[in-house]
């Protein structure tokens, strides 16, 4: 069985999840390869798409690109929604890896796959599609937030700041519907929460949708000596360290919620022993709408997974304040390192964070509840250590890479027989 994973890149949350699955399948002797638009890994089974650079193709691609840009330019995307169309300048259906594959496994394909071209050419091949965000069932947005217009086919799209029921989002839904028509696609989501979103959608409600959580390499993300790990990052040994990893600028990551919650704690109890540690993009925190009043150590981007695992292990808890999340890799990475999680009931967190066993949860947007959960962790060091122990055990039993790979193998076998 030859599996080809198609993903726009092998980095970021979706790219990392796809690459880990690829490695997991190889570890159980399944023939697995990846085709990506942007390649960073040294894995020889991951191939970067090389553009045909003849004059004819350059002209064609330029025309396609102008059409894509023109469609988007008609709308105001200034509110910061991440929005992509169903079109691409690339034509990948004739690629040798696509042709030789027994099963095509799609992941995050924005900008890489032209829906009309690709799906019309794939009628004869079984497709498995893991949804890393909402884009496959919306009219262009990747994170719909509170909007559920995808249930009725979009139109009057908030992301486009449009009041027109027949706007670009509605047209994209119609194009995707046509592309999916008659296609044998097995849909997989990494969480029950994401599965419920997809089942409500006009585009995917008729499809069978399975849930297979993302896996984590538990041989890398594991418990480490906390004292040594703190020395590695120059963190004070006596502080209660709270870890946050995401882009401050992304509203959906909820960093301002964490700042407000910690400021509540500061006002009530002081912050002599609390330090917030962040990884991701560095930013002048004084440019944020709310200036934090507690110590923060910004570590920037961390690419090396061994270093990232040591960071998780050095901290007392990881806080995840996402307002919309298909699956948080940070959650299971942290838990695998013996560090409990505090967060909102979003995405897969309710499936993984068991209250008072592997962490604490509160309702999305409940900043007072978030502050109380963090305060509980700060005030009960033995409890949070016990939660960390149970968190590691939980991930080992349910979220290691081999378990994920074998569940996908079952999906592949079923799909091949259908």
Tell me, what's the pLDDT at 294? 79
By CB neighbour count within 10 A (0-12 exposed, 13-18 middle, 19+ buried), where does 374 fall? buried
Tell me, what's the pLDDT at 106? 98
Tell me, what's the pLDDT at 295? 84
Region of residue 29 (phi > 0: left; psi between -120 and 50: alpha; otherwise: beta):
left
Residue 358 to residue 392: CA distance in whole angstroms: 8
Tell me, what's the pLDDT at 84? 93
H or E element that contains 8 = strand 2-9
Residue 16 to residue 22: CA distance in whole angstroms: 10
| Segments in the chain below pLDDT 50 | none
Q: Is 291 helix (H, G, I), strand (E, B) or coil?
A: coil
Asked if 212 contacts 188 with a C-beta cutoff of 8 angstroms, the reply is yes
Tell me, what's the pLDDT at 80? 66
Q: Longest Cα pair distance anywhere in the chain, in angstroms?
A: 68
The phi and psi torsions of 123 (rounded to 5 degrees) equal -55, -30
Tell me, what's the pLDDT at 271? 62
Question: Residue 325 CB: number of other CB atoms within 10 A?
Answer: 28
Structural domains of the chain, ranges and CATH numbers in brackets: 2-215+401-417 (3.40.50.2000), 226-398 (3.40.50.2000)
Tell me, what's the pLDDT at 65? 85
Asked if 124 contacts 40 with a C-beta cutoff of 8 angstroms, the reply is no
* DSSP secondary structure letter of residue 282: -
Only one residue has tokens 């259908």, namely 418
Tell me, what's the pLDDT at 249? 72
Tell me, what's the pLDDT at 289? 58
């Amino acid at each position: 069985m030859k599996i080809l994973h198609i993903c726009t890149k092998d980095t970021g949350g979706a790219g990392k999840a796809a690459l880990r699955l690829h490695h997991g399948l190889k570890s159980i002797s399944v023939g697995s390869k990846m085709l990506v638009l942007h390649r960073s890994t040294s894995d020889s089974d991951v191939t970067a798409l090389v553009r045909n650079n003849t004059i004819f193709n350059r002209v064609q691609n330029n025309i396609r690109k102008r059409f894509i840009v023109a469609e988007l330019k008609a709308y105001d995307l200034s509110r910061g929604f991440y929005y992509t169309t169903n079109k691409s300048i690339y034509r990948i259906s004739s690629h040798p890896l696509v042709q030789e594959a027994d099963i095509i496994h799609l992941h995050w394909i924005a900008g890489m796959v032209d829906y009309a071209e690709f799906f019309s050419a794939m009628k004869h091949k079984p497709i498995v599609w893991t949804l890393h965000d909402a884009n496959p069932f919306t009219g262009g947005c990747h994170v719909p937030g509170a909007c559920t217009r995808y249930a009725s086919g979009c139109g009057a799209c908030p992301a486009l700041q449009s009041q027109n029921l027949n706007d670009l989002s509605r047209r994209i839904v119609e194009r995707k519907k046509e592309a999916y028509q008659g296609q044998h696609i097995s849909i997989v989501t990494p969480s029950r929460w994401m599965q419920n979103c997809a089942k409500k959608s006009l585009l995917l409600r008729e499809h069978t949708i399975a849930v297979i959580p993302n896996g984590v390499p538990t041989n890398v993300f594991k418990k480490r000596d906390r004292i040594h790990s703190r020395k590695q990052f120059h963190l004070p040994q006596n502080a209660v360290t709270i870890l946050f990893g995401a882009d401050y600028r992304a509203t959906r990551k909820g960093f301002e919620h964490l700042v407000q919650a910690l400021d509540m704690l500061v006002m009530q109890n002081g912050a002599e022993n609390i330090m917030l540690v962040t990884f991701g993009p560095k930013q002048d925190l004084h440019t944020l709408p709310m200036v934090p009043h507690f110590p923060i150590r910004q570590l920037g981007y961390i690419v090396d997974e061994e270093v990232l695992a040591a960071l998780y292990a050095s901290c007392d808890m990881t806080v995840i304040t996402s307002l919309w999340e298909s699956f948080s890799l940070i959650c299971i990475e942290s838990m695998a390192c013996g560090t409990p999680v505090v967060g909102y009931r979003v995405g897969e967190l309710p499936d993984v964070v068991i209250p008072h066993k592997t962490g604490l949860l509160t309702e999305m947007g409940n900043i007072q509840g978030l502050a109380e959960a963090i305060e509980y962790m700060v005030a009960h060091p033995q409890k949070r250590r016990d939660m960390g122990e149970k968190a590691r055990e939980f991930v080992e039993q349910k979220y290691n890479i081999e378990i994920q790979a074998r569940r996908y193998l079952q999906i592949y076998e079923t799909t091949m027989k259908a």
